[in-house]
Structure 1
Amino acid sequence: MATYLDWRPASGDIPTSPGVYRWLDANGRILYVGKAKNLRSRLANYFVALETLPERTRRLVTTARDVQWTVVRNEIEALQLEYTWIQEYSPPFNVRLKDDKSYPFMAVTLADEAPRVMVTRTAKIRGARYFGPYPKVWAVNETIDLMIKVMPIRTCNDSNYRRAMQSGKPCFASQIGKCGGPCSQQVSIAEHRERVNEFVHFMETYDRSIVEKLKRDMLAASEALQFEEAARLRDRVQAFEAVLEKSAVVLADNADADVYGLAHDELAASVQLFTVRRGRVRGVRGWVLDKELEVDDATLMTQILQDVYGAQAQHPAREIVVPQIPDEVDALASVLTQARGSNVRVHTAQRGAKAELLATANRNALEALKQYKLKRTADYVARTEALNDLREALELDEAPLRIECFDVSHLQGTGIVASMVVFEDGLPKKRDYRRFNISESTDDTDSIYQTLMRRLAYLRDDEEQSREQSTKFAYRPQLLLIDGGQPQVAAAQRALNESGVGSIAIAGIAKRLEELWLPDDDFPVILPRASEALFLIQRLRDEAHRFAITAQRASRRRDIRTQLEEVAGLGPARINALLKHFGSVTKLRAATAEEIAEVPGVGPNIAANIVHKLSRK
């Protein structure tokens, strides 16, 4: 492979103006659309030595045969043109939100002669006022059922409405108490319109003054001995209260915000949107998308907002709270302001109620990403495909039914712990997880060598294997994965050679994840971006890293407990109080005697002895 693209344009030919650029393949198909404040500066990032580019970007530029650009006057025009072309051409390397489901809304058809309230999944009904989205259909139906008890408006479909108005007989929904429109023969069209306006006003504002007025009327009816009317008003109050309770207050009453949570890794991104109107969470939506190119949080956030308020036509809120300020935020805010018809502010939150809601959205996004991974892992077909893809990519004789992955964790060269996680048939087998404490090591390669020598000692020969593995390890692995590149793989291969164990496949997981390094190979094995094998490798790497970090922290905690137990006057209760007070071993080691003495039960003398003891390590 050549180091540079032989067809790249001369730097001086690329303008320094704002604009939109397009990468095209040999057939003229648009592969990627991007925008830039300075086209020359942005495109220069692509025309560098190919081996320095991330794998996905390298795949883009090597697939392309041409790059074209269009100059615009400002960043706002660049943003609009980029969005238009992404929607028109659907470039395969652009991030696009592909929800696996459509969300239900409550809609009030204000353009109709007699507006109706209904559940819908389309946002294109002419003249309709929408509320939501709701997480489930039953949540919309429940809200409608409660609301029509206190503000009865039309719920029947158009054909039933026309039939009832022509025949003079109430519609079926009205006969069972589910419709309060003119088709019930109880209200006029004008009276019904007033009810609809009240209905919409309450759903927009959640104004509690309506409830307070109903309570006053109920008391007045009771005092006048009109008990049936009082009971009817009581039922309406209870229905209103139920609607209010189901919409949690999270911000000030006048708050109108869309709050985004984001969690992503090398392969996928999870987005959560909390829709807040009048201080209440009115809807929650979520997406998980596969990432084709490695993009930073700011770029990813820009593309998400473009898709939500462009392709999905969602009406932007007055405030859009995001975990990361998007690229060209001022231009993006101007575009959203035009779509809303009034000022839109795009910002992040550092403190207060909005920051708390943002943190909640981020936690939900992280949980959704975890659930997405677990769902893919549980798919038997996907696991089988992943193992077969690995077999082909690594040229193995059989699919690696047992894979052991190793990682090393330490704190500035101390407290070295290596982890071994095991996947069988594509699933974690936690009872076979092992950790290896390493007392002395020169570097990570030496740690890997020591770890593999200790692990492979249990595979010396068949007789010893059957006797010792029953308590230490399960059967022989088909693949050993090392978290690292060529140096770590070489150390693992050296351990395998010196152990006297027969041939076992070894591969190293490079930081870019798509690259698997094999012993003595000058070039890595590249896994397809969307392959199940790559997803499995990522899970193995992440699990090994998590287990190593957990084991290393536990080792440090046990180590400091041993030291503290040697201090006169310190028992288990005071040691627990110390660790709880400082929260981490690092903070305790860095604390002064005065800070330690503030812990209940620890006086100045004991604090001085603790500092002396810990400073000797």
Structure 2
Amino acid sequence: MFLYGHKLKNQPANIVEQLSKTPSDPGVYLMQNENNQVLYVGKAKHLKNRIRSYFNSSSNLSPKIQQLVHNIERFEYIVTETETEALILENNLIKQLKPYYNDRLKDDKTYPFIKVTLQEKFPKVLFTRNIKNDGSKYFGPFTSARSVRTTMNLLKRLFPYRSCTKTITGKDDRPCLDFHINRCVGPCIGASTKDDYNEIINHVILFLEGDKKEIIRQLKTAMKKSSINLEYEKAANYRDQILSIEQINEKQRMFNADKSYKDIIGIYLSNNEAAIQVLHIRNGNMVGRNHFLMESIMDNKENVIAREFIEQYYSFYHEIPSEIIVQTELDTEREITEAWLKSKKNKSVKITIPKRGDKKKLLNLAIQNAKEQYNNKFVGEKIQLEHTKNTLLEIEESLGLNKIPKRIECYDISNIQGTNPVGSMTVFIDGEPEKSHYRKFKIAHVEGINDYSMMKEVLSRRLKNLSDPKKPDWNNKPDLIVIDGGKGHLNASLQTLLELGLYPEINICSLAKKKEEIFVPEQAESIILPRNSTALHLFQYIRDEAHRFAITFHRSLRNKKSNLSIIDSIPGIGPKKKFALFEKYQTIKQIENASITNISKINGFNNSLAQKIKNTIKEWRKSQEKISDKLN
């Protein structure tokens, strides 16, 4: 391979001159900006023609490609022997460089897998998100962690493999609970040989591959063998496994005429956004499906998306089937992509476009599901955005604000009779909570019970950091501040904004809980929004979130302080006895659950002291419950 670089000038003549030096071979090209950052990686059967196409008339280019071309300052290319080699190299470079303008599957690194550790003498079946070349066999990706755990729970009920992580020697004294409830064959105590255990793992793999017919055949053989050997309990276990698998098989059966392994890829495309549904068919059964979303697509043509999706998906998805069914011809020769798939699977892979029959029915099903996914995601998002926009406009108009409140910050104070006072700040951006921006404050400069002064302290500490370059996380200026409280809370908070010169630039209001009254500056009467108002619902959500956040922080401080002081308050317990007590019982909860007899056995303790400890904790617990009731 040969790597070349060209500096692009603004003049078209120079571009033409430099492109004239680009070869007509197959290869990969890398578009870069003025900082030499790779913006886009592509492959071409004919490098010169493909690169030249970017700099011809822009009228035929999508807006995203036009933006890309505008930012190109330089390009490089790598010549390859074949287009298949270019495809492999392109895919590797995209994964390595993650260029901004390359369409990538959304969240493609988050999908979970089931991992079978075949490299071990007694393999485990595990949940994982990390694919390693360690000799394990991987099944997935699954669309959610929940679906993986559901599958693994089913596997554990069907097949008695081990769930422990210990090294198996066969010499343990006692097995775990799984052995006693027939969920494990007990290799740890030598109750199962390596061959018998690996037969179970083989059944797990066949199940995950969808080959339930072969599992049933093997289990029936094992059941007959056990019956002949008078191992009736073992035979009964095999019988139960067979019945369970047959019931599952009935629920999964679908288009059973064709026994091959295939994936069906359905694409629904609209407005430079696509939803893609992949159905996994194994031995005539639909054993799973995955869905993906692609946004801001460079080239919104089905044939381009189909080819790019196959390249991305099967470089990430380890189980490549023998047949891939799509709805359109690819934008390059089908044989090129098939050759690339063969290089990964080490077996032939066929890409087909059915016109009729069961395969066409499955393809239509995949496309229909893709459309549903598109509507749920993109159309639903647009409806939600419109709903949020109208809600924020209602807030702006109802409160007479000087701008739409895109960033809303809400503040609350939490304390019980002045103890452990804290403040909370919650943040909503475009009507949604931005939890990474939440902040909590310990009140440091206010003595006694004075909510107004506490609120002023919290606001002052937060707003003084707006322009601090050393604290960039605090530099986002709110469009609206919401105070949890009434008119008095608003006036105290407004005074802080005036002192800092931030009003009326930053809008402010307060929300009183009793009648859900909203108070704004320079207006004597409160504002009461209709009960069905979406603006009111958003205000309530924001206020309740700030209240929850403040209470949680206050409770954690109070519990921490109580845990430290409660034992110190008991007569007869000094530092040494306290150390001995917590060496035996690490938490107040453990001490509470311990018996008087067991506590009295600690060196230096007796029944009388143990009884004092139990009584003190009991009274303390009652007081904590009363405080919690007040907080809530």
Is 1:197 aligned to 2:202, yes or no? yes
- C-alpha deviations, 1:19-53, integer Å up to 9, x for none? 22222211111111212212232233222234554
C-alpha displacement of 1:366: 1.1
1:8 maps to a residue whose letter is I
- Matches of 1:266 and 1:222 in 2, distance apart? 64
C-alpha displacement of 1:6: 6.3
Match of residue 354 from structure 1: 359
C-alpha displacement of 1:140: 4.1
Match of residue 343 from structure 1: 348
- Is the contact between residue 33 and residue 71 of structure 2 (CA under 8 Å) also seen in structure 1? yes
- Is the contact between residue 16 and residue 40 of structure 1 (CA under 8 Å) also seen in structure 2? yes
Structure 2 residue aligned with 1:314, among 295, 315, 318?
318
C-alpha displacement of 1:286: 1.0
Match of residue 9 from structure 1: 16
Is 1:47 aligned to 2:41, yes or no? no
TM alignment of 1:47-86, pairs within 5 A: 47-51=55-59, 53-86=61-94
- Is the contact between residue 28 and residue 90 of structure 2 (CA under 8 Å) also seen in structure 1? yes
C-alpha displacement of 1:339: 0.6
Closer, same or farther in 2 for the Cα pair 1:140/1:39, shift >3 Å? closer
- Is the contact between residue 114 and residue 181 of structure 1 (CA under 8 Å) also seen in structure 2? no
Match of residue 270 from structure 1: 275
TM alignment of 1:376-455, pairs within 5 A: 376-377=381-382, 379=384, 383-384=388-389
Is 1:28 aligned to 2:33, yes or no? no
C-alpha displacement of 1:248: 3.0
What is the percent sequence identity of the aligned residues?
29
C-alpha displacement of 1:306: 1.6
Unaligned runs of 5+ in 2: 1-8, 394-401, 405-429, 432-632
Unaligned runs of 5+ in 1: 389-396, 400-424, 427-617
2:289 maps to a residue whose letter is V
2:320 maps to a residue whose letter is P
Greater RCO, 1 or 2 (C-alpha within 8 Å, sep 6+): 1
TM alignment of 1:83-94, pairs within 5 A: 83-94=91-102
Secondary structure of the 2:103 match is coil
Secondary structure of the 1:8 match is helix
C-alpha displacement of 1:138: 4.8
Is 1:154 aligned to 2:156, yes or no? no
Indicate the RMSD between aligned Cα atoms, in angstroms.
4.0
Structure 2 residue aligned with 1:107, among 94, 100, 115?
115
Structure 2 residue aligned with 1:121, among 121, 129, 136?
129
Structure 2 residue aligned with 1:98, among 106, 109, 113?
106
2:318 maps to a residue whose letter is Q
2:324 maps to a residue whose letter is I
Report the TM-score, using the length of structure 2 for normalisation. 0.54
C-alpha displacement of 1:230: 7.7
Closer, same or farther in 2 for the Cα pair 1:339/1:251, shift >3 Å? farther
- Matches of 1:366 and 1:7 in 2, distance apart? 46
- C-alpha deviations, 1:124-147, integer Å up to 9, x for none? 372222334444545444444444
- C-alpha deviations, 1:273-322, integer Å up to 9, x for none? 11222222222111112124234222222221121122x24231111112
Aligned pair count? 391
Match of residue 299 from structure 1: 304
- Matches of 2:225 and 2:195 in 1, distance apart? 28
Secondary structure of the 1:20 match is strand
- Matches of 2:254 and 2:261 in 1, distance apart? 12
Match of residue 598 from structure 1: none
- Matches of 1:350 and 1:146 in 2, distance apart? 37
Worse-superposed segment, 296-305 or 186-195: 186-195
- C-alpha deviations, 1:412-459, integer Å up to 9, x for none? xxxxxxxxxxxxx99xxxxxxxxxxxxxxxxxxxxxxxxxxxxxxxxx
Is 1:323 aligned to 2:327, yes or no? yes
- Matches of 1:70 and 1:100 in 2, distance apart? 27
- Matches of 1:55 and 1:217 in 2, distance apart? 64
Closer, same or farther in 2 for the Cα pair 1:82/1:99, shift >3 Å? same
Match of residue 254 from structure 2: 249
Match of residue 377 from structure 2: 372
- C-alpha deviations, 1:519-541, integer Å up to 9, x for none? xxxxxxxxxxxxxxxxxxxxxxx
- Matches of 1:316 and 1:32 in 2, distance apart? 27
C-alpha displacement of 1:75: 0.8
Secondary structure of the 1:22 match is strand
- Matches of 1:356 and 1:382 in 2, distance apart? 37
1:167 maps to a residue whose letter is D
- Matches of 1:344 and 1:132 in 2, distance apart? 19
